[in-house]
Amino acid sequence: MTARRTAARDRWVTLGVFMALAAAWQALSLVFTAEAQPGEPMVPGWQVLFSRTLLSMSDYFQGGFGIRPISEGGVRSYPAAVLSLLGNSADTLLRLAVGWLAGALAGTLLGLAVSWSAWSRRLVELPAQFLRTLPLLAMVPLFQLWFGSYFIGKVAFVAYGVGVLFFAGVVNAVGNVPQIHIDNARTLGAGQWRLYGSVVLPAILPELRATMLLSLGAAWAAVLGAEYLGAQSGLGYIIVFAQQFAFLDRMFLVALLIVVYTSLSFWAFDRLSAWATRWAPAAG
Amino acid sequence: MRRGAAGRFAAAVDPLRLAGPVLLAAAWWAMARALPPSLLPPPLAVLRRVAADFLAAPELTYYGLDNASLLGSLLYTVQNVVLAVALGTALGVVGGLLAARIALLRAVIDPMMLTAGTIPILIAAPFLLIWFGVGRGSAVALVVFNVAVVLYLFARRAAANLDPIHEAAARMLGATPAGAVRDVLLPGTVPEILGGLRIALAGAWGLEAIAELLGAQQGIGKVIEVLAGATDVEGIMAALLLLGAVAVVADALAAAAIRRLAPWTTPARLAAA
C-alpha cells in the first residue's frame, strides 16, 4: 500500500474512532443514569449537552450586545450562551497569546544575550536548569500574590512558564550551532552582530521548533492552572465554578471546547513552524 | 558529546558553572532588599523557614492540616508521585509496545493518545475531583493519566524507530516471537522509554502539586494552598524550594539509574524537554 493511501486510511480510522467514542458516550448516558444531584446527570448525553447545558452557559455571560446578563435579571437564551462562550474563550485565548508572546520574546532575547560568550553560558547553566525543574504549576499561588489574580497575573505566569523553556531552548540551540559555520563566517570578516543575524539566528530556528510546540503545551497548562485557582472569567474559571456545584455537564461542554482549541492551536503551530523552517533539511 | 570521568569531574567543579547559583541567590537577595519582605523575602529567611518548619510546623495545624510539617507533607506528595509514575509507566509502556506490534490496536488507540498528548492533562483535574473525591485517588489518577500518555507515545515511537532488520536477523537465527520481543524489542526500546520516563517524572511534580492545590487533605500542594490563603509568601517559597529540590534530586536519580540500567544507551536528546 502506498504511503498516501495509508495516510488516507488512517484519517478514516481516526474519524471512526472519534465517532465511536461519541456514540459510546451517548450509550453510556442511556445506561448509566445516575445523577450527581437532582437533574444533573453524571453522564450527560449529547441531547442534554447541546440544549440545556449550552443554554446554562448564559449564566456566565457578563452582558453586552443589548442582552442583559442573568445577574441583572436577564433570561437564559441561546444568543447569550453563545456570546458567553465566545467571550470567555476570548479571555482565555488572549491571556494565552499575550503570555506566550511575551515569554517567547523575553526568553529568546535573554537566551541570545547569554549565548554572547562562552563565559556567560557556563554561568547561567545551573540556575537555568534549576528554574526549569521547579514545578511550574505549583507556582500559581506565588504569581497570584505577586501580580494579582487579574489579567496581568495570568499573563505573567504564562510568560514565565514559556520564557523559561525558550531561554533553555535558545541557549542549548546556540550551543549546538556547528563551530565550522561560525568559524567560516568569522574568517570571511563577520562581526558579532552580523554573525548573530545571518548565521546563529537562522541556524537555531529548526531546533526551536520542538521548543515552540513544548512551550505551547506549557502555556495551555499554565493558563488553565491560573484560571482554576482564581479568575473572574475564562474557560478554566467556568469549569472550576461548575465543579463546585457538581455541574458535570457544564464542565464537560467547556472541556470539549478546550480540547478543540488546543488541538487547533497545535495544528496551526505545527504548520506555521514547518513553513518557517521549510528551507532546513529535516531535523529535530 | 562523550566525556570521560576526568572531563565530567572538570565540568562539575567548573568554578564559573558553580558561580551561577551563587549569582542567582545574590540577585534574589538584591531584589528582596528593594521589595518588602511580605512580597519577596530574602533567600536566608526562606532557608530558615524551611529549617524551622521541616519537622514540625505548629502554625499549619491552625489551618486544619493533619500532617503539620513540611517533611510529612512532602512524603505524602512523594508517595503519590512514585505510585503514579510506576502505575502510569506500566500502563503506557505495555500499551505502547502492544500498539506497535498490533496494527488494529494501533489504529484505534493512536488517535486518542495523540489527542491526549496535545491537550493539557490538567483539564481532567476537576472531573477526577468529582469522581474520586479529595483523597489520594484524584491526584494519583491525574499523574497516572499524564505519565501513561507520555510513555505510550515514547514506547510507540521507540518501537517504530527500531530497525526491523534486527528482529528479522534474530528470527532468522531461530528466535521465537516471544524471544524476539524479549531480546530485541525490549532492549532496543528501553533507552528511549527511559528518556520518556524522565520527562514524565519532571512533569509529575507540578501536576501532583496543582491537584493538591485544587482539593486535597494533605501534601505539599495543600500546604501551599493554605499558606496562599494567609498570603504567606515566605512559607510558599519555602515549600516550593523544597519541592523543587526534590524534583532536582529525583531527576538526577533517574538519570543515574538510566546510566546504570541501560549502559548501552546513547545519550538521549532531552535538551528540548
pLDDT, tens digit (0-9, with 9 covering 90-100), for A237-263:
888 888 888 888 888 889 999 999 998
Note the ipTM here: 0.81
Q: How distant is the Cα of A200 from the closest Cα of chain B, in angstroms?
A: 18
Please report, for the domain that includes residue B72, its CATH number. Answer: 1.10.3720.10
User: pLDDT value at position B247?
Assistant: 92
For residue B27, tell me if it sits in a domain. yes
Inter-chain residue contact B243 with A138, CB threshold 8 Å: yes
Contact B99, B185 (CB under 8 A): no
Are B108 and B24 contained in the same domain?
no
All three cell numbers of B114, joined, read: 495523540
Q: How distant is the Cα of A50 from the closest Cα of chain B, in angstroms?
A: 19
For residue B202, CA distances in Å to A225, A226, A238, B221, B257 come to 17, 20, 29, 16, 15
Are B122 and B157 contained in the same domain?
yes
Are B45 and B177 contained in the same domain?
yes
User: pLDDT value at position B36?
Assistant: 85
- pTM, full prediction: 0.84
Record: fold of A70-75+100-276 = MetI-like fold (1.10.3720)
Which pLDDT tens digit goes with each residue over A192-231? 888 888 888 888 888 888 888 889 999 999 999 999 888 8
What is the distance between the alpha carbons of residues A101 and B143, in angstroms, rounded to a whole number?
28
User: pLDDT value at position A282?
Assistant: 59
Q: Which residue of A has its CA nearest to B269?
A: A284
- Tell me which DSSP letter residue B122 carries: G
State the CB neighbour count (10 A cutoff) for residue B180.
18
A224 closest CB neighbour out of B122, B237, B273: B122
Q: How distant is the Cα of A193 from the closest Cα of chain B, in angstroms?
A: 25
> Where do the structural domains in chain A lie, given as residue ranges?
70-75+100-276
In chain B, the percentage of residues whose pLDDT exceeds 70 is: 90
Q: What is the residue range of B30's domain?
A: 1-34
Are B49 and B11 contained in the same domain?
no
Inter-chain residue contact A136 with B206, CB threshold 8 Å: yes
All three cell numbers of B98, joined, read: 502492544
User: pLDDT value at position A58?
Assistant: 76
Inter-chain residue contact B244 with A133, CB threshold 8 Å: yes
For residue B266, tell me if it sits in a domain. no
User: pLDDT value at position A219?
Assistant: 93
- Beta carbons within 8 Å of B17's beta carbon, 6+ residues apart: A122, A123, A125, A126, B11
How many domains does the structure of chain B reveal?
2
For residue B58, tell me if it sits in a domain. yes
Q: Average the pLDDT over A75-104 and give the result.
A: 88
What is the distance between the alpha carbons of residues A26 and B18, in angstroms, rounded to a whole number?
59
pLDDT at B209 over 70: yes
Burial of B166 (0-12, 13-18, 19+ CB in 10 A): middle
Are B23 and B85 contained in the same domain?
no
Inter-chain residue contact B233 with A142, CB threshold 8 Å: yes
Inter-chain residue contact B209 with A125, CB threshold 8 Å: no
